[in-house]
Structure 1
């Protein structure tokens, strides 16, 4: 059973009443963070099976949102990859007074009193800037999957839209260029006030220079019209065909098919056709 405990199984099946009953039986909130054999907590599984209501219950009861699975992903990372807006909201929006009152009524000392008291005035302490084991933050994962609505939520909660991923230093804008995703690029350029057009990769390439190396002339024109500095890329060993080859393989190398969040099968992703 891949180390799944009753609470893991209840989350997978979407049994809200069973989840609530098991939480009431837990003597301490730390037991809500038990990981199975692939390092998934109940909160991870609620994210994988798109159960935002269960996610809120777990968080109110004291589940820790920053625990990582075997790939270094938190529940928020998984929700961003899957494009599950309601799950992202469940992990980032502040608790309402009704939710807080109900948590105290149902769980008493088992609820995360410190978090609940502060969250009545602030958003959840979500893991917006945590990197997974590939060095990617939530903004990178959402950008790679083309989930503009998810990026919009993340940015509204203060996520760094200029963050560089840990391997090559690409920002969401570099990712938009790499995938030739004009809708994503336009969102970043039009709606993200803090976007820095000149943020460079670890190799010193701005978004415009990155577009030049990849022979993305349309993306170059878009960036030029938005005020990007049209500086010639430095001499390097880059080959545009090598970079373009990453488009179809990057997500598969890390997770298998990035669309795997359709259902759950004993800790292993299931792909869809």
Structure 2
């Protein structure tokens, strides 16, 4: 649990350097007999940049490391200390749809909010990431939630890419009440 001058523990460093085996040893290792009782690792502990180990693994796009951390008790919805982003927000920022899907399947809150009220869908829509926006909507993201600037994800998408909406004007609308043969209609990219 010792932190260096950057606030990093040994596990933070293992995540930064993407050393899965080292991280596994730190998480599963037993203390030496003359060292006293085992100390449990605080997987939510943040370094001086406000990043927990799961945030670092997500930014490194390292899904096996993310899985290991989650299996060992990392909080999937822990917010980083500067803007309140969760791992799901960071996965959206990496533009890796597979990471977004992994976190959603692992139980990440799809409508988690940053300190400014933005959800992962706000970030995806604002960056014009249509396939990730679609993935988030399919997972139940609310496209009508407003951030502190009173903007919805739809507003942000219109600001960034009106030409994309001209091609597919229904892409961001929440048509969760339309059904065909009893199944909800989903808009996809």
Report what 1:163 is aligned to. Answer: 78
SS of residue paired to 2:37 = helix
Report what 1:196 is aligned to. Answer: 109
Report what 1:212 is aligned to. Answer: 125
Q: What are the equivalent positions in structure 2 for 1:42-81 lying under 5 Å apart?
A: 66-81=1-16
Give the CA deviation at 1:113: 2.4
Deviation digits for residues 34-88 of structure 1 (CA, Å, limit 9, x no counterpart): xxxxxxxxxxxxxxxxxxxxxxxxxxxxxxxx11111111100010111111110
Q: Is the 8 A contact 1:129 1:138 kept in 2?
A: yes
Q: Could you say which structure has the greater relative contact order, defined with CA pairs below 8 angstroms and 6 or more residues apart?
A: 1
Report what 1:181 is aligned to. Answer: 96
The verdict on how the C-alpha distance between 1:133 and 1:188 changes in structure 2, with shifts beyond 3 A counting, is same
Structure 1 CA distance for aligned equivalents of residues 148 and 130 of structure 2: 19
Give the CA deviation at 1:114: 2.2
Structure 1 CA distance for aligned equivalents of residues 146 and 16 of structure 2: 31
The verdict on how the C-alpha distance between 1:232 and 1:145 changes in structure 2, with shifts beyond 3 A counting, is same
Deviates more, 1:146-155 or 1:85-94: 85-94
Count, aligned residues:
153
Q: Does 1:93 align with 2:6?
A: no
User: In structure 2, which of residues 37, 40, 49 is the aligned counterpart of residue 114 of structure 1?
Assistant: 37
**TM-score, reference length from structure 1:** 0.52
Structure 2 CA distance for aligned equivalents of residues 169 and 178 of structure 1: 14
Report what 2:62 is aligned to. Answer: 147
Alignment RMSD (CA, Å)? 2.2
Structure 1 CA distance for aligned equivalents of residues 147 and 102 of structure 2: 28
Give unpaired runs (5+ residues) of structure 1: 1-65, 105-110, 116-123, 241-273
SS of residue paired to 2:83 = coil
Structure that is richer in helix per residue? 1
**TM-score, reference length from structure 2:** 0.74
Structure 1 CA distance for aligned equivalents of residues 147 and 97 of structure 2: 25
Q: Is the 8 A contact 2:16 2:60 kept in 1?
A: yes
SS of residue paired to 1:114 = coil
